[in-house]
Amino acid sequence: MTRLSNATLADLPAPVARPGYDRTTLVPGIVHVGPGAFHRAHQAAYADAVLAHDPRWAISAMALNSTDVADALRPQDGLYTLALLGAETKLRVVGSIVELLTKAEGDAFAARIAAPTTRLVTATVTEKGYCLTAGGGLDRDHPAIRRDLTDPARPVSFVGRLVDGLGRRRAGGAGGLTVLSCDNLAGNGRRLSRAVGDYAAAIDPDLAAWIAGEVRFPSSMVDSITPATDDALRATVAAAGIDDAWPIQREAFTQWVIEDDFARERPPFDLAGAQFVADVTGFEEAKLRLLNGAHSSLAYLGLLLGHETVGDAMADARLAGFVERLMRDDIAPGLGVTAGLDTGAYIGAILDRFRNPAIRHLLAQIAWDGSQKLPFRLLATIVDARRAGRPVDRLVVPVAAWLRFLALPRPPMAPLVDPLAARLTALAHDPDAVVQDGGVFPADLVGDPTFRAALAHAWVGLCDASGILGRLA
C-alpha cells in the first residue's frame, strides 16, 4: 500500500469512489476554520460534489488548536477517506481540501480571506469558539479575546483572526463576502455576526461599519452523525487497500439547510443536496432540540446507567422509551410549525438513526462540553415550557443527569471535558450552586423557583441505578 496522495489516486481499488474532477484546476474559493471530523464529514463532502461542476469552490482550511490535521493531510495533498456507515460501508476519497494552515500561519490565513478568489468563509469551531456571554454579546473577559483586544494585529482567537482577515480584505479592495457558521448553535449566523461586530467595533469602528455593510452572516442547520475516528474504521480503510493517516466516518444521512443570504455569489451546494431557504430558524430549532437534545439526554443518563454507546443506550428499552416521550411530549410542543418539516416523522427518523447498528458512537464523546451545549439543546426548551405553562418534570431529568455526571469520580466515569470543568467541579456537590453560579443557566431559569425545585427533585431521584430507572418511567 502506498500513502494516499494525488500521485496514488488513480491506483485506488475500484470500489473506492474518488474525485471526479481534475484537482490541478481547483481554486480555493472557501476558507474554512476548524477542519475537524465534522467539517471533513459534512461541508467538505458537499464541496467535493460541487467541484465536479465548478472548480472554484475548493477549500483552504485553518486549524486553530493543533497541527494534527495538517500533519496528517499535507503528505496526502489534503486527500482523505470518508466512510459512509450503513448496511454496507461505502468508502469515498474526498478531494475538496487543497490547503491546510496551522495557527502559526495567521498571516497566510488573513491573506486567504483577503484574496479576490475567496468568496466564502465557513466555520466549525464548536459552541465555545464564539466567545459569547450568556446574554449574547462578545465575552470581553474571555482570555483569548482579552488578549486579542490588546494586540489585534496578532490575534489568536477565532473571532480575532476572522476580523483581522476581514480588515485585510477591506484594505485590499476585494469587496464583501459571506461568513457561514456550521456549528450547532441556534441562530449561529446571527451570533457570529454579533461576536464579530462587537470585536470589530472595539478595535476599529470603521472596519465594523464596513463589515456591517459588506459581509453577510447566514445561519445554517448542519446534520450528520460523525463518530470519532476509531480502530475499527482504520482497519476497514486499511483492508480496502488505502493508506490514510486520518480517515473519517459518518452515517450516510446528511442534511444542510442554509439561509439564502449571501454577499455576491452563492456556492451551488444545492447541487450536492443542500437546501437554501429564506428562514432557517425552524429547522435549526427542531434539529438542536430534538436530535441534539435527545443525544445529550442519552449521553448523561446512559453513562450513569453504565452504557458506552448511543446504540447500547437505545437498546435499553426504558431509556429509549424515555427519550421518545421526551421528544414527542415535551420538546415537540415547544417547536413552531415549519413548512416542509413533519415533526412526528422527523422524530421517528432520528430514533432510527440512533439505532443504526453500523455506528459505534461513544456517549462520552457526546458528553463533552455540556456547559456549552445544554443551553441550546435542553434549557431553551425548558424556558419555553415554563413560559407556556407546560410541565418540565421530564425535561429536567437529563439536566439533573448532567449535574450527577459532573460530580462523579473519574475514572470510572468518563472524563469531564468542558471549558468550565474547574468551576463546575468545584460547585458540583450542590446542584443549586451550579444553577446559580455555574455560568450555564439562563437568567429566566436561575430566577425560577419552580424550575429549581423540579431540578432538585430529579437530582435527588438520580442517586443510584434503581432511582434512575424510576425517573425514566
For residue 316 the three cell numbers come to 435499553
Residue 108 and residue 105: Cα distance in Å, rounded?
5
Measuring CA to CA, how many Å separate 378 from each of 98, 154, 368, 385, 400? 38, 37, 15, 11, 11
Residue 292 binding ligand CS2, by CB under 6 A: yes
Within 33-92, the residues that bind ligand CS2 by CB under 6 A are: none
Report the residue number, 295 or 386, with the smaller CB distance to ligand CS2: 295
**Count of chain residues binding ligand CS2 (CB under 6 A):** 10
Report the residue number, 38 or 80, with the smaller CB distance to ligand CS2: 38
Measuring CA to CA, how many Å separate 62 from each of 81, 101, 104, 145, 447? 19, 5, 10, 19, 41
Query: What percentage of the chain's residues is helix, strand, coil (to nearest 5)?
Result: 50, 10, 35
Site string for ligand CS2, 134-173 (x = CB under 6 A): ----------------------------------------
Question: Which residue is it, cell 476548524?
Answer: 34
For residue 102 the three cell numbers come to 496551522
Q: How far is the CB of 103 from ligand CS2 (least distance, A)?
A: 23
Q: Of 25-33, 272-280, 289-297, 383-391, which part binds ligand CS2 (CB under 6 A)? A: 289-297
Site string for ligand CS2, 347-376 (x = CB under 6 A): ------------------xx------x---
Q: How far is the CB of 342 from ligand CS2 (least distance, A)?
A: 19
For residue 314 the three cell numbers come to 437505545
Overall size of the chain counted in residues:
473
User: What b/e string do you get for 288-310 counting C-beta neighbours within 10 Å, with b at 16 or more?
Assistant: bbbbbbbbbbbbbbbbbbebebb
Report the residue number, 192 or 222, with the smaller CB distance to ligand CS2: 222
Residue 261 and residue 274: Cα distance in Å, rounded?
14
Residues 222 and 256: beta-carbon distance below 8 Å: yes
Report the residue number, 115 or 350, with the smaller CB distance to ligand CS2: 350
Q: Which residue is nearest to ligand CS2 (CB)?
A: 295
Site string for ligand CS2, 200-229 (x = CB under 6 A): -----------------------xxx----
Within 225-254, the residues that bind ligand CS2 by CB under 6 A are: 225
Q: How far is the CB of 370 from ligand CS2 (least distance, A)?
A: 9
Report the residue number, 60 or 292, with the smaller CB distance to ligand CS2: 292
Residue 420 and residue 156: Cα distance in Å, rounded?
20
Report the residue number, 163 or 222, with the smaller CB distance to ligand CS2: 222
Report the residue number, 200 or 221, with the smaller CB distance to ligand CS2: 221
Half-sphere CA count of 382, side-chain side, radius 13 A: 28
Residues 63 and 246: beta-carbon distance below 8 Å: no
Report the residue number, 157 or 224, with the smaller CB distance to ligand CS2: 224
Q: How far is the CB of 347 from ligand CS2 (least distance, A)?
A: 15
List interacting residues with ligand CS2 (CB under 6 A).
184, 223-225, 291-292, 295, 365-366, 373
